[in-house]
Amino acid sequence: MRYKIVDKKDLCPGNYLIEIEAPNIAQRFEPGQFVIVRINEKGERIPLTVADFDTQKGTITLIFQVVGKSTMQLGTLNVGDAVLDCVGPLGKPSEIKKFGRVICIGGGTGIACIYPLIRALADAGNEVISIIGARTASLLILEDEITVLISRTSVATDDGSKGHHGFVTDVLTNLLDEYRNSGGIDRVIAIGPPVMMKAVADITRSLHIKTIVSLNSVMLDGTGMCGSCRVFIDGEMKLACIDGPEFDAHKVNFEDLVSRLEMFKEKESEAMNHYSSNAGVRK
């Protein structure tokens, strides 16, 4: 079976949105879940979060950042093209209920992953406050879509080109202060680069605010068969694909996560070089 691309957008430099025909996945998807995509027979299986879905059209939306060979190749596909496999929804759904006041933090492409959670949490009657951040203004995705959903959205950019000049964690600290005497914050959810998630966890830990992060460890099958995605939660080995991808941020060993993400780095650049040089020849 092939999964057809019915829409594609260039969101910002190096970030694409594709909408794929996958009626079964659209029907079953719950926020927090992901899919595994394999472009063609020679392709690897890459996990991508479902950023949006449309049960009427039977489609799901994926937003991805080009970081290596597979995402670069995925970015070259156009409307009418298809990917060979798209399996999901995978992983445990997010816990969605009325918590009260929730801060949702998205960093970089993580904004795409937090987007369905913002919507679901708002629908569940929470007061959702979001903080989204990127290196620079042009890399900030989904700002308008998020702003219309909820009453308060803050922006941070590393270079100050938009919103707060600095990190999302600076904004978080300010918000936590601001709400301290007016009921506080009931939950924080953060999705983005591991360093960002770790920094968030470090801030909320001492304040005892329940904090959830979504871990992007290296995955292969996504069904609990290989152990490649193993992460360490409170010292215990868990599989991000079936036990997660969301975990209690205060229990996650981020050093191991970051370290393990580097396992195939050299090979990945080799794949990239191989692909770029061949793509050049084909032209």
Partner 1 sequence: MIQIGGTRIAMEEQPVQQRIKNFCSVPLGYTEEEVIAEAQRCIQCIHGPCEKMCPVHMDIKAMIREIVARNFKEAFLIAKKDNAIPAIAGRVCPQEEQCEGVCPFFNTDNGINIGKLEAFIADWAMENGVKEEFHIEERPEQVAIIGSGPAGISCAVDLRKYGYKVTMFEALHKAGGVLQYGIPAFRLPKDIVDYEVSYLTEIGVEVKLNHIVGQNIMFNELRKKFDAIFVGTGAGAPQFLGIEGERLKGLYSANEFLFRTNLMKAYEFPEYDTPIVCGAAIGVIGAGNVAMDVARCALRLGAKNVYMLYRRTKKESPARIEELQHALEEGLRFMELVNPSRVLGNEDGWVTGIELLRMKLGEPDKSGRPRPIKIEGSEFTMKLDTVVEALGNKPNRLFLDQTPELETTRWGTLEVDKNLMTNVEGVAAGGDAIRGNATVILALGDGRKAAQSIHNYILRRRK
Tokens representing 173? 């600290």
CB of 82 to ligand FAD, least distance (A): 18
Residue 245 interacts with, from partner 1, ligand FES, ligand FAD, none (CB under 5-8 Å by kind): ligand FAD
From its phi and psi, is residue 195 left (phi > 0), alpha (psi between -120 and 50) or beta? Answer: alpha
Q: What's the min distance (Å) between Cβ of 215 and ligand FES?
A: 11
Grouping H, G, I as helix, E, B as strand and the rest as coil, residue 209 is coil
Is 245 among the residues that bind ligand FAD (CB under 6 A)? yes
Residues 133-192 that bind ligand FAD (CB under 6 A): none
Q: Which CB atom, from 64 or from 115, has the smaller least distance to ligand FES? A: 64
Residue pointed to by tokens 């595994």: 36
Is residue 146 within 8 A of residue 118, CB to CB? The reply is yes
Chain positions contacting partner 1, by CB under 8 A: 1, 24-25, 28, 38, 42-45, 69-70, 84-90, 220-221, 223-228, 230, 232, 237, 242, 253, 256, 259-260, 262-264, 266-268, 270-271, 274-275
* Burial letters 111-142, b for 16+ CB under 10 A, else e: bbbbbbbbbbbbeeebbbbbbbbbeeeebbbb
**If contact means CB under 5 to 8 A according to the sort of partner, which of partner 1, ligand FES, ligand FAD, none does residue 253 touch?**
partner 1
- Tell me: does residue 67 bind ligand FAD (CB under 6 A): yes
Residue 260 CB-density burial (10 A; 0-12 exposed, 13-18 middle, 19+ buried): middle
Residues linked to residue 10 through DSSP beta bridges, in sequence order: 16
Residue 83, binding choice from partner 1, ligand FES, ligand FAD, none, Cβ under 5 to 8 Å by partner class: none
> Which residue of the chain is nearest ligand FAD when measured via CB?
68
Name the residue nearer to ligand FAD (CB basis): 163 or 194.
194
> Nearer to ligand FAD by C-beta: 204 or 217?
217
Q: 215: number of CA atoms within 13 Å, CB side?
A: 37
- Pattern 27-66, ligand FAD, x by CB under 6 A: -------x-----------xxxx-------------xxx-
Q: Which residue's structure tokens are 């794929």?
A: 20
Nearest to 154 by CA among 118, 205, 180: 118
